Amino acid sequence: MTLELLGAASKSFLFVFAALLPILNPAATAPIFLGLTEGASSGTRALLARRIARNMVALMLGSMLVGSYVLEFFGIALPIVRVGGGLLLASMAWRLLNTTHASEDSRTELAEAFTPEMARRQAFYPLTFPVSCGPGSIAAAITVGVSLADSELTVSLARMGGGAVALLAVGLIMYLAFRYAQRLLRPLGEAGTIIFLRLSAFILLCLGVQIVWDGVSELIGGLLAQYVPTRVGS
């Protein structure tokens, strides 16, 4: 029985890790993190990276364990979550695209203004949600949580435990990607970093629009499935 539970936990670990890491994609969101924290000191960015990783694990774990029940309680469908979250993501990317690059004097002023207290306030919104962990990730976590559930309680707990460990591993990767993002982009130089940040913001904008479109398409598809057969039958 113990070996069976260990096997279930191991399979769940691999399943959740492989399913959620490409969606969260810390390497792709690290440049966005740099752009949104321009002017922050390395210590403040380290604090933010730790808080964002912790918030992401908590948000995704909560979505995986009880997300479907919460949505059902409030009567909210997943397509609505996609539309609302996609709009938030698109607006954030649009703001980042239109941000002017700071001069040396502006960087000094920004560094003085970007205090650790401001970092704490922004650690969840917008840096954790919707930038690092968007509606697509939450929807995926809810779907994964439903697939991990089992009729036998011990197997279900083992699977959820393996999924939780996988989320901790993804959180560690996100922390490292954000913590050392500046070093990783340093070989590109200042001009290359600006170009890379703009491209990343544009991809984020496209991703937000795609999430909105997916949600709207599901809503329209649901309406058509509900009304079209009735009209044909009549």
How far does CA 57 lie from the centroid of its chain?
A: 10
Per-position b or e across 180-201, b if 16+ CB within 10 A of its CB:
ebeeebeeeeeeebeeebbebb
Domain range enclosing 218: 2-233
For the chain, how long is the longest CA-to-CA vector? 71
Spatial CB neighbours of 21, under 8 Å, sequence gap ≥ 6: 170, 173
Number of domains within the chain: 1
Question: Of 188 and 175, which is predicted with more confidence?
Answer: 175
Distance from C-alpha of 141 to C-alpha of 156, rounded to nearest angstrom: 16
| pLDDT tens readout for residues 59-109 | 999 999 998 788 888 888 878 877 877 787 788 778 777 766 544 444 444
- Between the alpha carbon of residue 99 and those of residues 73, 108, 194, 206, the distances in Å are 39, 17, 11, 17
Percent of the chain past pLDDT 70, that is, above it, reads 86
pLDDT digits (tens, 9 = 90+) for 17-56: 988 887 888 888 888 888 888 777 888 889 999 999 999 9
Peptide bond into 130 cis (omega under 30): yes
